[in-house]
Amino acid sequence: MSQKRKNRAKERRAVYLLPNLFTTFSLFAGFYSIVSSVNGRFVAAAWAIILAAVFDTLDGTVARMTRTTSRFGVEYDSLCDLLSFGAAPAALLYQWALRPDKFHFLRTLPSDDKTMTLGFVVAFVFLACGALRLARFNVSAGDRDPGFFQGLPITGGAAIVAAAVLWHSRFPGAKPIPPEPALVLTLSLVLSFLMVSNLDFFSLKNKMIARNSRPFETLVLLILVLALLIIKGRTLLFPLGLIFMASGPVTTFIRARRRRLAGLPEALPSGSEGGSQDRETGPGGAGDSREGPAEPAGDPSSPRAADGPPAQGVSASGEGPQGADGPGQGA
């Protein structure tokens, strides 16, 4: 009996590593994108951001399907998101279209005056707004509508930047045309504003996966759709991104109008970050923490705290690979 428990514990640890492995793949793709941007390989950098977004979506889905969600995974994913969807697209924006030599009116300035240019500041603003977006999500995890994002998700903002690069290079055999810095600068500022705004953006992933009674079939369908987007990504992703950007103000107006007509009070802050951060939401809805409905581990009145195994969702040390299932289900 003891050997069976040990074997099950090993299997449980292996399953626990799976969602964090997808998160690590997302981190690697973000780092690869930064290196590619520095080396002038902008199309490769854009595809790396798209790949990071795919891994970021899969890690949360896998964590829910295998019931291996954990607080560690939430924090790890948030840190990885800042690099893959904050620093990587900011570096791509700057190297691709916002460097001083890209602006015609800056080419006549002395080299010392080109260091802190408008493009540098705009790229940093995108990164800072992405960090603020993640921080706001982390502190408002329990007070949001899981069906909507509060502000443009950082994953969506990064994907739109990557899609703009792919759209610009949608004719590989044609003579390369330099990007227009003014348009890219405007796009960067609009994305930055949308990320820190209170506009409601529809959360398709939560509607189709987190609250879906058949998540596996839905995941297969989404993978097939994603394969189609990758095949035609250079021409499809950017228009879809613009539609998603425009959906925020429209969705906010419609929801506010419905609340006024129904005489309802102002809605609670909504929002759910892309990827595994919304593992906190889980199948149970908003506020369903990755640690699960654990009993107080130190409550002497609890019979399990007295002489039994740790409460559900809490390991002996208060954290660990047991995740939301705890030793009762995982062993």
Q: Does domain 14-282 have CATH number 3.30.420.40?
A: no
Q: Rounded to an integer, what distance in angstroms lies between the CA atom of residue 245 and that of residue 117?
A: 27
pLDDT at 49: 96
8 Å CB contact between 81 and 56: yes
Q: Rounded to an integer, what distance in angstroms lies between the CA atom of residue 231 and that of residue 130?
A: 28
Give the helix, strand, coil percentages of the chain, each rounded to 5: 65, 0, 30
pLDDT at 329: 39
Long-range contacts formed by 222-231: CB under 8 A, 24+ apart: 226/54, 230/50
pLDDT at 322: 41
Q: What is the pLDDT along the chain (331 residues), one digit of tens a residue?
A: 466 665 555 555 656 788 889 999 999 999 999 999 999 999 999 999 999 998 998 887 788 777 777 888 888 999 999 999 999 999 999 999 998 887 765 555 555 455 457 889 999 999 999 999 999 888 876 666 667 888 899 999 999 999 999 999 887 766 777 888 889 999 999 999 999 998 988 876 655 555 556 667 767 777 787 788 778 878 888 998 999 999 989 988 988 888 888 877 655 544 444 444 444 333 333 333 344 444 444 444 444 444 444 444 444 444 444 443 433 434 4
Other residues' Cβ atoms within 10 Å of the Cβ of residue 258 = 11
pLDDT at 15: 60
